[in-house]
Amino acid sequence: MKETRNILVTGGAGYIGSHTVVELIQRGYNPIIVDDFRNSSSEVIDGIEAIVGTRPVTYELDVTCKSDLSKVFATHDLDGVIHFAAYKAVGESVDHPLMYYRNNVDSLINCLELSEVFGVKNFVFSSSCTVYGQPKESSIVTEDTPIQEANSPYGATKQMCERIISDVHKSGSSLRFLNLRYFNPVGAHPSSHIGELPLGRPSNLLPFVTQTAAGLLNELTVFGNDYNTVDGTCIRDYIHVVDLANAHIKGFQWLELQSGPALETINVGTGHGISVLEIIHTFEKVSGLQLNWAYGPRRSGDVEQIFADTTKAKNCLGWEAERSVEDAIVDAWNWQKKMGDE
Ligand code: UD1
Protein backbone atom coordinates (compact mmCIF):
# COMPACT_ATOMS: atom_id res chain seq x y z
CA MET A 1 0.00 0.00 0.00
CA LYS A 2 1.13 3.56 -0.73
CA GLU A 3 2.55 5.54 2.17
CA THR A 4 0.69 8.75 1.48
CA ARG A 5 -2.97 8.72 0.56
CA ASN A 6 -4.14 11.18 -2.08
CA ILE A 7 -7.58 12.47 -1.23
CA LEU A 8 -9.56 14.73 -3.52
CA VAL A 9 -11.36 17.34 -1.43
CA THR A 10 -14.05 19.12 -3.43
CA GLY A 11 -14.97 22.42 -1.81
CA GLY A 12 -11.66 22.22 0.05
CA ALA A 13 -11.46 26.00 0.38
CA GLY A 14 -14.88 26.14 2.02
CA TYR A 15 -15.63 26.33 5.73
CA ILE A 16 -15.69 22.64 6.64
CA GLY A 17 -13.48 21.65 3.71
CA SER A 18 -10.58 23.90 4.73
CA HIS A 19 -10.59 22.64 8.32
CA THR A 20 -10.66 19.07 7.05
CA VAL A 21 -7.71 19.75 4.73
CA VAL A 22 -5.70 20.98 7.73
CA GLU A 23 -6.46 17.86 9.76
CA LEU A 24 -5.68 15.62 6.77
CA ILE A 25 -2.27 17.23 6.21
CA GLN A 26 -1.46 17.09 9.92
CA ARG A 27 -2.07 13.34 9.82
CA GLY A 28 0.12 12.71 6.78
CA TYR A 29 -2.54 12.60 4.06
CA ASN A 30 -2.16 14.45 0.79
CA PRO A 31 -5.36 16.39 0.14
CA ILE A 32 -5.91 17.76 -3.35
CA ILE A 33 -8.28 20.69 -3.29
CA VAL A 34 -10.79 21.45 -6.00
CA ASP A 35 -12.72 24.68 -5.51
CA ASP A 36 -13.81 27.51 -7.76
CA PHE A 37 -13.84 30.00 -4.85
CA ARG A 38 -17.37 31.14 -5.64
CA ASN A 39 -18.22 30.80 -1.98
CA SER A 40 -14.76 31.17 -0.47
CA SER A 41 -11.49 32.90 -1.21
CA SER A 42 -8.03 31.94 -2.38
CA GLU A 43 -6.79 33.46 0.91
CA VAL A 44 -8.15 30.35 2.60
CA ILE A 45 -5.29 28.43 0.95
CA ASP A 46 -2.85 30.94 2.52
CA GLY A 47 -4.52 30.29 5.87
CA ILE A 48 -4.10 26.53 5.49
CA GLU A 49 -0.45 27.03 4.57
CA ALA A 50 0.08 29.27 7.60
CA ILE A 51 -1.18 26.47 9.87
CA VAL A 52 0.47 23.42 8.34
CA GLY A 53 3.56 24.91 6.67
CA THR A 54 2.87 23.46 3.23
CA ARG A 55 0.61 24.63 0.45
CA PRO A 56 -1.92 22.02 -0.65
CA VAL A 57 -2.25 21.36 -4.36
CA THR A 58 -5.29 23.35 -5.45
CA TYR A 59 -7.28 23.37 -8.69
CA GLU A 60 -9.57 26.28 -9.35
CA LEU A 61 -12.47 24.67 -11.14
CA ASP A 62 -16.19 24.03 -10.99
CA VAL A 63 -17.02 20.47 -9.91
CA THR A 64 -20.12 20.52 -12.14
CA CYS A 65 -17.74 20.73 -15.14
CA LYS A 66 -16.95 17.06 -15.65
CA SER A 67 -14.26 17.51 -18.29
CA ASP A 68 -12.26 19.83 -16.01
CA LEU A 69 -12.73 17.56 -13.01
CA SER A 70 -11.69 14.48 -14.98
CA LYS A 71 -8.25 16.01 -15.57
CA VAL A 72 -7.69 16.07 -11.81
CA PHE A 73 -8.74 12.43 -11.51
CA ALA A 74 -6.40 11.60 -14.39
CA THR A 75 -3.45 13.48 -12.88
CA HIS A 76 -3.56 12.10 -9.35
CA ASP A 77 -3.69 8.50 -8.25
CA LEU A 78 -6.59 9.09 -5.86
CA ASP A 79 -7.29 6.91 -2.84
CA GLY A 80 -10.47 8.70 -1.94
CA VAL A 81 -12.84 11.59 -2.43
CA ILE A 82 -14.35 13.80 0.24
CA HIS A 83 -17.13 15.65 -1.50
CA PHE A 84 -18.05 18.95 0.18
CA ALA A 85 -18.67 21.23 -2.80
CA ALA A 86 -22.31 22.32 -2.59
CA TYR A 87 -24.56 25.25 -1.88
CA LYS A 88 -25.88 25.27 1.69
CA ALA A 89 -28.16 28.20 2.41
CA VAL A 90 -31.69 27.09 3.19
CA GLY A 91 -33.38 30.42 2.34
CA GLU A 92 -31.44 30.89 -0.89
CA SER A 93 -32.44 27.40 -1.98
CA VAL A 94 -36.12 28.33 -1.64
CA ASP A 95 -35.56 31.32 -3.94
CA HIS A 96 -33.28 29.52 -6.41
CA PRO A 97 -34.22 25.83 -6.41
CA LEU A 98 -32.84 25.03 -9.87
CA MET A 99 -29.48 26.51 -8.98
CA TYR A 100 -29.40 24.20 -5.95
CA TYR A 101 -30.50 21.06 -7.78
CA ARG A 102 -28.11 21.71 -10.67
CA ASN A 103 -25.10 22.42 -8.51
CA ASN A 104 -25.53 19.96 -5.66
CA VAL A 105 -26.76 16.98 -7.65
CA ASP A 106 -24.58 17.43 -10.75
CA SER A 107 -21.42 17.80 -8.72
CA LEU A 108 -22.11 14.56 -6.85
CA ILE A 109 -22.86 12.66 -10.07
CA ASN A 110 -19.62 13.89 -11.64
CA CYS A 111 -17.61 12.81 -8.61
CA LEU A 112 -19.27 9.38 -8.58
CA GLU A 113 -18.90 8.74 -12.31
CA LEU A 114 -15.25 9.74 -12.27
CA SER A 115 -14.56 7.70 -9.13
CA GLU A 116 -15.91 4.64 -10.94
CA VAL A 117 -13.97 5.34 -14.14
CA PHE A 118 -10.70 5.94 -12.29
CA GLY A 119 -11.18 3.12 -9.77
CA VAL A 120 -11.23 5.29 -6.65
CA LYS A 121 -12.22 3.18 -3.67
CA ASN A 122 -13.36 5.49 -0.84
CA PHE A 123 -16.01 8.18 -0.89
CA VAL A 124 -17.17 10.49 1.91
CA PHE A 125 -20.27 12.56 1.28
CA SER A 126 -21.11 15.75 3.18
CA SER A 127 -24.69 15.25 4.24
CA SER A 128 -26.74 17.11 6.81
CA CYS A 129 -29.16 16.65 9.67
CA THR A 130 -31.50 18.66 7.48
CA VAL A 131 -32.47 15.30 5.92
CA TYR A 132 -34.46 14.50 9.11
CA GLY A 133 -36.74 17.54 8.78
CA GLN A 134 -38.65 18.00 12.06
CA PRO A 135 -38.45 14.54 13.65
CA LYS A 136 -41.86 13.30 14.80
CA GLU A 137 -41.15 11.13 17.83
CA SER A 138 -38.16 12.66 19.59
CA SER A 139 -35.72 15.52 19.02
CA ILE A 140 -32.75 13.21 19.44
CA VAL A 141 -32.25 11.48 16.14
CA THR A 142 -30.46 8.26 15.31
CA GLU A 143 -29.49 7.38 11.76
CA ASP A 144 -32.59 5.17 11.63
CA THR A 145 -34.99 7.98 12.50
CA PRO A 146 -37.40 8.14 9.57
CA ILE A 147 -36.58 10.83 7.04
CA GLN A 148 -39.34 13.44 6.69
CA GLU A 149 -40.10 15.40 3.59
CA ALA A 150 -37.35 17.99 3.19
CA ASN A 151 -38.13 21.50 4.43
CA SER A 152 -36.24 23.18 1.59
CA PRO A 153 -34.71 22.48 -1.84
CA TYR A 154 -31.34 22.47 -0.04
CA GLY A 155 -32.57 19.66 2.20
CA ALA A 156 -34.03 17.86 -0.80
CA THR A 157 -30.64 17.92 -2.56
CA LYS A 158 -29.02 16.24 0.46
CA GLN A 159 -31.75 13.58 0.51
CA MET A 160 -31.39 13.05 -3.25
CA CYS A 161 -27.63 12.77 -3.04
CA GLU A 162 -27.92 10.15 -0.30
CA ARG A 163 -30.47 8.30 -2.46
CA ILE A 164 -28.15 8.40 -5.48
CA ILE A 165 -25.32 7.00 -3.39
CA SER A 166 -27.58 4.25 -2.07
CA ASP A 167 -28.68 3.31 -5.59
CA VAL A 168 -25.09 3.23 -6.84
CA HIS A 169 -24.14 1.03 -3.88
CA LYS A 170 -27.06 -1.34 -4.56
CA SER A 171 -26.10 -1.56 -8.22
CA GLY A 172 -22.92 -3.40 -7.25
CA SER A 173 -20.42 -0.53 -7.26
CA SER A 174 -17.09 -1.41 -5.71
CA LEU A 175 -16.93 1.97 -3.97
CA ARG A 176 -17.08 2.23 -0.19
CA PHE A 177 -19.38 5.05 0.89
CA LEU A 178 -19.76 7.06 4.04
CA ASN A 179 -22.46 9.71 4.41
CA LEU A 180 -21.73 12.07 7.29
CA ARG A 181 -24.81 13.92 8.50
CA TYR A 182 -23.52 17.13 10.04
CA PHE A 183 -25.45 18.95 12.69
CA ASN A 184 -24.63 22.68 13.14
CA PRO A 185 -20.93 23.35 12.51
CA VAL A 186 -19.59 26.39 14.37
CA GLY A 187 -16.27 27.90 15.44
CA ALA A 188 -13.02 28.37 13.63
CA HIS A 189 -9.50 27.02 13.71
CA PRO A 190 -7.94 27.93 17.10
CA SER A 191 -5.04 29.57 15.22
CA SER A 192 -7.50 32.07 13.67
CA HIS A 193 -5.91 31.42 10.26
CA ILE A 194 -9.11 29.94 8.84
CA GLY A 195 -12.78 30.13 9.80
CA GLU A 196 -16.21 30.76 8.39
CA LEU A 197 -16.30 33.37 5.61
CA PRO A 198 -19.93 34.12 4.90
CA LEU A 199 -20.27 36.20 1.76
CA GLY A 200 -22.70 39.05 2.28
CA ARG A 201 -25.20 38.96 5.12
CA PRO A 202 -24.80 35.73 7.07
CA SER A 203 -27.81 33.48 7.53
CA ASN A 204 -26.36 31.14 10.14
CA LEU A 205 -26.59 32.03 13.81
CA LEU A 206 -22.98 32.24 14.99
CA PRO A 207 -21.57 34.42 12.17
CA PHE A 208 -24.57 36.67 12.75
CA VAL A 209 -23.73 36.88 16.45
CA THR A 210 -20.04 37.65 15.91
CA GLN A 211 -20.71 40.19 13.13
CA THR A 212 -23.26 41.95 15.33
CA ALA A 213 -20.78 42.07 18.19
CA ALA A 214 -18.13 43.43 15.81
CA GLY A 215 -20.48 46.23 14.79
CA LEU A 216 -20.88 45.04 11.19
CA LEU A 217 -24.57 44.35 11.77
CA ASN A 218 -26.92 46.34 13.98
CA GLU A 219 -28.94 43.73 15.74
CA LEU A 220 -29.43 40.00 15.96
CA THR A 221 -33.02 38.85 15.60
CA VAL A 222 -33.85 35.71 17.55
CA PHE A 223 -36.32 33.90 15.33
CA GLY A 224 -39.18 32.97 17.64
CA ASN A 225 -39.54 32.69 21.42
CA ASP A 226 -42.73 30.67 21.53
CA TYR A 227 -41.34 27.24 20.75
CA ASN A 228 -42.00 24.36 23.09
CA THR A 229 -38.44 24.39 24.51
CA VAL A 230 -36.71 25.37 27.79
CA ASP A 231 -36.69 29.08 26.96
CA GLY A 232 -38.95 29.22 23.91
CA THR A 233 -36.10 29.44 21.37
CA CYS A 234 -35.00 26.69 18.96
CA ILE A 235 -32.59 23.97 20.00
CA ARG A 236 -29.71 22.76 17.84
CA ASP A 237 -26.61 20.59 18.18
CA TYR A 238 -23.65 22.94 17.60
CA ILE A 239 -20.44 21.12 16.77
CA HIS A 240 -16.95 22.65 16.65
CA VAL A 241 -15.73 22.61 13.06
CA VAL A 242 -12.38 21.07 14.06
CA ASP A 243 -14.18 18.15 15.72
CA LEU A 244 -16.27 17.79 12.58
CA ALA A 245 -13.11 17.85 10.45
CA ASN A 246 -11.67 15.07 12.60
CA ALA A 247 -14.76 12.94 12.01
CA HIS A 248 -13.72 12.87 8.34
CA ILE A 249 -10.30 11.47 9.23
CA LYS A 250 -11.87 8.74 11.35
CA GLY A 251 -14.39 8.18 8.58
CA PHE A 252 -11.71 7.77 5.97
CA GLN A 253 -9.81 5.35 8.18
CA TRP A 254 -13.00 3.34 8.67
CA LEU A 255 -13.58 3.20 4.90
CA GLU A 256 -10.08 1.87 4.32
CA LEU A 257 -10.70 -0.95 6.79
CA GLN A 258 -13.70 -2.25 4.84
CA SER A 259 -12.80 -5.28 2.79
CA GLY A 260 -15.40 -4.70 0.09
CA PRO A 261 -18.20 -2.39 -1.01
CA ALA A 262 -19.80 -0.58 1.89
CA LEU A 263 -22.32 2.11 2.68
CA GLU A 264 -22.71 3.67 6.10
CA THR A 265 -24.51 6.81 7.26
CA ILE A 266 -23.42 8.49 10.48
CA ASN A 267 -24.55 11.50 12.51
CA VAL A 268 -21.85 13.99 13.41
CA GLY A 269 -22.91 16.11 16.35
CA THR A 270 -22.17 16.49 20.04
CA GLY A 271 -25.32 14.80 21.30
CA HIS A 272 -26.32 17.95 23.21
CA GLY A 273 -29.00 20.44 22.29
CA ILE A 274 -28.47 24.15 22.98
CA SER A 275 -30.98 26.97 22.58
CA VAL A 276 -30.44 30.20 20.67
CA LEU A 277 -30.58 32.12 23.98
CA GLU A 278 -27.92 29.88 25.48
CA ILE A 279 -25.68 30.65 22.51
CA ILE A 280 -26.19 34.37 23.06
CA HIS A 281 -25.49 34.13 26.79
CA THR A 282 -22.40 32.01 26.22
CA PHE A 283 -21.15 34.52 23.68
CA GLU A 284 -21.67 37.37 26.13
CA LYS A 285 -19.84 35.42 28.84
CA VAL A 286 -16.78 34.56 26.76
CA SER A 287 -16.48 37.93 25.01
CA GLY A 288 -17.40 40.14 27.96
CA LEU A 289 -19.64 42.09 25.55
CA GLN A 290 -23.32 42.74 25.55
CA LEU A 291 -24.94 41.67 22.34
CA ASN A 292 -27.61 43.79 20.72
CA TRP A 293 -30.45 41.36 20.09
CA ALA A 294 -34.26 41.22 20.06
CA TYR A 295 -36.96 38.65 19.59
CA GLY A 296 -38.59 38.52 16.19
CA PRO A 297 -41.07 36.21 14.50
CA ARG A 298 -40.29 32.59 13.71
CA ARG A 299 -38.25 31.96 10.56
CA SER A 300 -40.18 29.84 8.10
CA GLY A 301 -38.86 26.33 7.67
CA ASP A 302 -37.09 26.21 11.05
CA VAL A 303 -37.41 22.98 12.98
CA GLU A 304 -38.12 23.39 16.70
CA GLN A 305 -35.41 21.19 18.09
CA ILE A 306 -33.04 18.55 16.86
CA PHE A 307 -29.83 17.00 18.13
CA ALA A 308 -27.77 13.96 17.35
CA ASP A 309 -27.70 10.52 18.86
CA THR A 310 -23.95 9.96 18.53
CA THR A 311 -23.81 6.28 19.50
CA LYS A 312 -23.04 5.10 15.98
CA ALA A 313 -20.22 7.62 15.51
CA LYS A 314 -18.63 6.34 18.73
CA ASN A 315 -19.12 2.64 17.99
CA CYS A 316 -18.34 2.65 14.30
CA LEU A 317 -15.74 5.39 13.89
CA GLY A 318 -14.39 5.68 17.44
CA TRP A 319 -15.11 9.39 17.16
CA GLU A 320 -16.75 11.84 19.51
CA ALA A 321 -16.73 15.60 19.88
CA GLU A 322 -13.98 16.87 22.19
CA ARG A 323 -14.55 20.62 22.11
CA SER A 324 -17.29 22.51 23.92
CA VAL A 325 -19.60 25.14 22.52
CA GLU A 326 -17.63 27.69 24.58
CA ASP A 327 -14.46 26.63 22.75
CA ALA A 328 -16.28 27.11 19.45
CA ILE A 329 -17.57 30.54 20.41
CA VAL A 330 -14.12 31.69 21.62
CA ASP A 331 -12.58 30.52 18.33
CA ALA A 332 -15.34 32.09 16.23
CA TRP A 333 -14.96 35.38 18.07
CA ASN A 334 -11.16 35.40 17.73
CA TRP A 335 -11.56 34.70 14.03
CA GLN A 336 -14.07 37.54 13.67
CA LYS A 337 -11.70 39.93 15.44
CA LYS A 338 -8.81 38.84 13.25
CA MET A 339 -10.85 39.51 10.10
CA GLY A 340 -11.63 42.95 11.47
CA ASP A 341 -7.91 43.66 11.97
CA GLU A 342 -7.02 42.86 8.36
C1 UD1 B 1 -29.79 24.44 8.80
C2 UD1 B 1 -29.76 22.95 8.76
C3 UD1 B 1 -28.32 22.45 8.71
C4 UD1 B 1 -27.60 23.10 7.57
C5 UD1 B 1 -27.65 24.59 7.74
C6 UD1 B 1 -26.97 25.23 6.56
C7 UD1 B 1 -31.58 21.92 9.99
C8 UD1 B 1 -32.05 21.40 11.31
N9 UD1 B 1 -30.35 22.40 9.98
O10 UD1 B 1 -29.28 24.84 10.03
O11 UD1 B 1 -28.35 21.07 8.49
O12 UD1 B 1 -26.25 22.67 7.54
O13 UD1 B 1 -29.01 25.00 7.77
O14 UD1 B 1 -27.12 26.61 6.56
O15 UD1 B 1 -32.26 21.89 9.01
N16 UD1 B 1 -31.24 31.94 14.26
C17 UD1 B 1 -31.70 33.14 14.82
N18 UD1 B 1 -31.30 34.31 14.25
C19 UD1 B 1 -30.46 34.37 13.17
C20 UD1 B 1 -29.98 33.15 12.62
C21 UD1 B 1 -30.41 31.95 13.19
O22 UD1 B 1 -32.46 33.14 15.79
O23 UD1 B 1 -30.15 35.47 12.70
C24 UD1 B 1 -31.66 30.67 14.85
C25 UD1 B 1 -32.46 29.80 13.90
O26 UD1 B 1 -33.83 30.09 14.00
C27 UD1 B 1 -32.11 28.41 14.42
C28 UD1 B 1 -30.69 28.57 14.97
O29 UD1 B 1 -30.50 29.96 15.15
O30 UD1 B 1 -32.94 28.10 15.49
C31 UD1 B 1 -29.64 28.03 14.02
O32 UD1 B 1 -29.88 28.58 12.74
P33 UD1 B 1 -28.83 28.40 11.54
O34 UD1 B 1 -27.46 28.71 12.02
O35 UD1 B 1 -29.37 29.15 10.38
O36 UD1 B 1 -28.82 26.85 11.25
P37 UD1 B 1 -30.03 25.84 10.98
O38 UD1 B 1 -31.15 26.51 10.29
O39 UD1 B 1 -30.29 25.09 12.22
Cα of 69 vs centre of ligand 1, distance in Å, is 32
pLDDT at residue 338, as a whole number: 93
pLDDT at residue 197, as a whole number: 87
Count helices and strands in the chain by DSSP H and E runs: 12, 15
pLDDT at residue 1, as a whole number: 63
Tell me which of 157, 181, 184, 199 to substitute to probe ligand 1's pocket, judged by most ligand atoms within 8 Å of the beta carbon.
184
Cα of 41 vs centre of ligand 1, distance in Å, is 23
Cα of 155 vs centre of ligand 1, distance in Å, is 12
Residue 268 β-bridge partners:
182
* 154 among known catalytic residues: yes
pTM of the model: 0.97
pLDDT at residue 333, as a whole number: 98
Mean pLDDT by 10 residues, the chain (342 residues): 90 98 98 96 97 98 98 98 95 94 98 98 97 87 93 94 98 98 98 91 94 97 97 98 98 97 98 97 97 95 92 98 98 94 76
303 lines ligand 1 (CB under 6 A): yes
One DSSP character per residue, 133-179 reads: -S-SS-SEE-TTSPPPPPSSHHHHHHHHHHHHHHHHHHTT---EEEE
- Kindly report the backbone phi and psi dihedral angles of residue 10, in degrees, each rounded to the nearest multiple of 5, phi listed first: -80, 140
CATH 3.30.160.20 fits 6-188+238-269, yes or no: no
pLDDT at residue 116, as a whole number: 98
SS3 124: strand
